[in-house]
Structure 1
Amino acid sequence: MIQWPCLFKLEGDDELLFLALEADLVNELESLIASDEDILIDSSGEVFKVELDSSHNISFKAQYKTLTLEEVTSLVQAHEFALAQVCVIKIGFNSIKEAVQAMRTTH
């Protein structure tokens, strides 16, 4: 089961999208060209593929992979570096949930 809020990682892009609710993902997918390689990272670090059928129904496929705190922190650092807004050396978190929540407050 997905633990919201989540981060949406686009294939080939360092940008992360903060998603408080599943409805936020639905709204984002309406304006994005989704890729099979895009992933959803929940607040516990679980990774899901997002599948959209021809009727625009969303389903989530668990990848049975859990990112570590270090991996999630690296994703947030890459995101912030791409925006050139924060000194990435200073970015650190005590938990994955804290890292996800940090994206809410910065964007």
Structure 2
Amino acid sequence: MVVWPCLLTLEGDDELIYLAENSDFMTECKDLIFTDDDYIIDSTGQCYLIEPNLNLYQSEQCLSTEEVTVLIRSHEFSKAQVCLTKIYFLSVEEAVKSMAYEVK
């Protein structure tokens, strides 16, 4: 079961999309065309692949806090607004929730 909030990562793009809940996922993603390398990372680090009908299914991949931190650092680097050495998290949940500030 997906533990919200989550991050959406798209193949070939360092930018991450913060999704607070399932309805945000449905709204953000309804017009996207997904590849096999696009996935959702939930607050526990569990990864979910995305089917064309927007159903999510659990993959075998579960990311550590360090792996999620690397993704967030890449995201921030692409925007060139934050000192990357200051980005540090104690848990995946903390890392995912840190992206909430980017919601418009």
Q: TM-score, normalised to structure 2's length?
A: 0.93
CA RMSD of aligned residues (A): 1.1
Deviations 1:75-100 (A, max 9, x none): 00000000111011110001100000
Question: For residues 39 and 24 of structure 1, do their structure 2 counterparts lie closer, same or farther at Cα, with a shift above 3 Å needed?
Answer: same
* Structure 1: 4+ residue segments shifted above 6 A: none
Q: Distance in 2 between matches of 1:29 and 1:103?
A: 18
Figure out how many residues of one structure are paired with residues of the other and give that number: 103
Aligned residue number for residue 82 of structure 1: 78
Residues 22-37 of structure 1: matches in 2 within 5 Å?
A: 22-37=22-37
Structure 1, unmatched stretches of 5+, are none
Whichever structure has more strand as a proportion of its residues is 1
Structure 2, unmatched stretches of 5+, are none
Q: TM-score, normalised to structure 1's length?
A: 0.90
Percent identity between matched residues is 45
Aligned residue number for residue 66 of structure 2: 70
